[in-house]
């Protein structure tokens, strides 16, 4: 899979891919139809490394029309990380309403100011959008649009190096991210989501932000 990105804000995300081989064929009817797909669970993290890294031990179990089943292991594929230079822009860069990088925060209640530029900590929610017959210059495979809403930047260095870092929760803009993926027709991908995202019947990418109870109200 190759990547072309049009960044409207900032993103860092991983995809979960199922690399499929040719499914069984019947000598008389050709390829068998898929009747169902189910996913096996991944156990909860058992150590610090598993808690810190994205991983999966799940498999996709594909049931065919003749009753046979084929199993495909799932794996994470990192497309880019916050701060990477992708598609002519820095992924994860937090910008103002004019699209310019924010170089320092507003002063907090104690007079502290954080030094930028600032980068999102990562994708908060992810949706895949496929538009029939969509054409994007340079895409040779399937044109897939990946939509992200992004995490807050929660802390950054103080503009005064003698002072401690500045807390930034909800102090900087959040953003949406649109990424164009040139998908090899052979793999099929589906990204995970930490907050809730979905595609509406009108092909609109939707998502909501999970807010800690202490921040509500």
The residues, ordered by sequence, that sit 6+ positions from 113 with a Cβ below 8 Å of its Cβ are: 104, 105, 106, 107, 158, 159, 160, 166
Task: Work out whether strand 13-19 and strand 69-80 pair parallel, antiparallel, or are unpaired.
Answer: antiparallel
Q: Does some domain include residue 61?
A: no
pLDDT at 162: 95
Residue 91 · residue 79 · CB < 8 Å: no
Q: Does some domain include residue 22?
A: no
Q: Does some domain include residue 151?
A: yes
pLDDT at 30: 64
Q: Does some domain include residue 204?
A: yes
Q: Does some domain include residue 174?
A: yes
What is the three-class DSSP state of 4?
strand
Q: What is the pLDDT along the chain (217 residues), one digit of tens a residue?
A: 343 333 333 333 333 444 444 455 555 556 778 899 999 999 999 999 999 888 889 999 999 999 999 999 988 777 777 788 877 888 788 999 999 999 999 999 999 999 999 988 877 777 888 888 888 888 888 888 888 778 888 899 999 999 999 999 889 987 777 778 887 776 444 444 445 455 555 555 555 555 444 444 4
pLDDT at 24: 53
Please tell me the total count of domains within the chain.
Answer: 1
**DSSP assigned state of 215:** G
∠ CA 136-139-140, rounded to 5°: 140
Q: Does some domain include residue 49?
A: no
pLDDT at 101: 93
pLDDT at 84: 82
Q: Residue 117: is the preceding peptide bond cis (ω within 30°)?
A: yes
pTM confidence score: 0.62
The residues, ordered by sequence, that sit 6+ positions from 172 with a Cβ below 8 Å of its Cβ are: 94, 102, 105, 118, 152, 153
Q: Does some domain include residue 164?
A: yes
Q: Does some domain include residue 45?
A: no
pLDDT at 176: 72
Query: 127 is in which domain, residue-wise?
Result: 2-16+79-208
């Amino acid at each position: 899979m190759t990547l072309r990105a049009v960044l409207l804000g900032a993103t860092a995300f991983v995809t979960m891919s199922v690399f499929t081989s040719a499914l069984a064929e019947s000598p008389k009817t050709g390829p068998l139809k898929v009747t169902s797909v189910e996913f096996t669970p991944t156990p909860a993290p058992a150590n610090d490394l598993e808690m810190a890294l994205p991983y999966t031990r799940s498999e996709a179990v594909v049931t065919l029309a003749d009753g046979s089943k084929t199993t495909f292991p799932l794996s994470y594929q990192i497309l880019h990380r916050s701060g990477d230079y992708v598609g002519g822009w820095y992924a994860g860069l937090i910008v103002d309403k004019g699209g310019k990088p924010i170089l320092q925060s507003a002063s907090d209640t104690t007079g502290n100011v954080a030094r930028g530029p600032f980068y999102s900590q990562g994708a908060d929610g992810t949706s895949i959008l496929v538009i029939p017959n969509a054409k994007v210059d340079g895409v040779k495979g399937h044109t897939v649009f990946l939509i992200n809403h992004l995490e807050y930047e929660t802390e950054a260095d103080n503009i005064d190096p003698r002072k401690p870092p500045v807390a930034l929760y909800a102090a900087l803009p959040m953003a949406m991210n649109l990424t164009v993926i040139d998908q090899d027709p052979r793999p099929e991908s589906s990204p995970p989501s930490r907050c809730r995202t979905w595609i509406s019947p009108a092909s609109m990418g939707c998502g909501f932000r999970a807010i800690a109870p202490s921040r509500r109200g």
